[in-house]
Amino acid sequence: MSADPTAPTTADRVVTAGMVVIGDEILSGRTKDRNIGFVADRLTEIGVDLKEVRIVPDEEDRIVEAVRALSARWDHVFTSGGIGPTHDDITADAVADAFGVGIDVDPRAEAILRARLAGRAEVNEARLRMARIPFGASLIEVENGMPGFKIGNVHVMAGVPAVLEAMMRAVCATLPHGRPMLSETIDAMLGEGLIATPLGAIQKAHPDTVIGSYPYERDGRYATNVVVRAREPDVLAAVAAEVRAMIDDVRARQPQR
């Protein structure tokens, strides 16, 4: 685990997040999403638990509904997609609607747009659309694209992965950190079916941990990665040791091949 020790850390409570991915192209299969995994990784690093993701089409009502639902339920919401200059980029308007505020070309964003385009391209109506920001929002500025924005607990980011990644890094640098969820992965080198019952007993005995079991195939046989997660290093170490001892025990009882 690698939480930045210089970053602000919040109190003991768990900090949660939701994500809304906006785009017909993800739902049609044309574009394969890469942003969910990136956001999930960064949030895990800073100790924020991603609790829910919704993927919705480029339809205003659906975006409003998802943003409102997740904003009410989780500490933070991250959105990706729909903030470009074309007619199908309606995220900024939908988020303004979700918060019941107006939206217009923002002088700060327009200044950034004009500086970027100076001597290279015309500031036309479509490009100015990218400077539309809901009233009361703060900007999420990046080098490689027009700014995203934050309003309430919602961080609105681009869909293009390189731009989203820059925005997510910028947001994470300022976001209060939670207590990181620590984790340890143990390769059982046995199928899930052999360890499932004793593993379930260990999980039941340690409700302050989350034990996951992930089957994978190797050389035509199923094996299992067991992942133990906990916020307390001592708890993690103790439960991981218990899982390892259990696996050794099950292996010792297997018939020799």
Binding site for its own copies (CB under 8 A): 21, 24-33, 36-38, 40-44, 49-58, 62, 84-89, 121, 124-127, 129-130, 160, 162, 181, 183, 191-197, 199-200, 203-204, 210-217, 227, 229
Q: How far is the CB of 107 from its own copies (least distance, A)?
A: 19
Question: Of 48 and 137, which has the nearer Cβ to its own copies?
Answer: 48
CA dihedral angle for residue 20, residue 123, residue 135, residue 154, rounded to 10 degrees: 20
Q: How far is the CB of 84 from its own copies (least distance, A)?
A: 6
223: nearest Cα among 200, 251, 183: 251
CA 73: distance to chain centroid?
Answer: 15
Question: Of 210 and 235, which has the nearer Cβ to its own copies?
Answer: 210
Residue 29: count of CB within 10 angstroms of its CB? 7
- Please report which helix (H) or strand (E) contains residue 239, including its range: helix 233-252
Q: How far is the CB of 247 from its own copies (least distance, A)?
A: 13
Q: Are 79 and 95 in contact (CB under 8 A)?
A: yes
Question: Of 77 and 130, which has the nearer Cβ to its own copies?
Answer: 130
Q: How far is the CB of 37 from its own copies (least distance, A)?
A: 4
Question: Of 134 and 145, which has the nearer Cβ to its own copies?
Answer: 145
Question: Of 136 and 193, which has the nearer Cβ to its own copies?
Answer: 193
* Dihedral class, residue 47 (left if φ above 0, else alpha if ψ from -120 to 50, else beta): left
Q: How far is the CB of 136 from its own copies (least distance, A)?
A: 26
Burial 103-114 (b: 16+ CB within 10 A, else e): beebeebbebbe
Q: How far is the CB of 227 from its own copies (least distance, A)?
A: 7
Residue 211: count of CB within 10 angstroms of its CB? 20
Residue 37: count of CB within 10 angstroms of its CB? 9
Question: Of 15 and 151, which has the nearer Cβ to its own copies?
Answer: 15
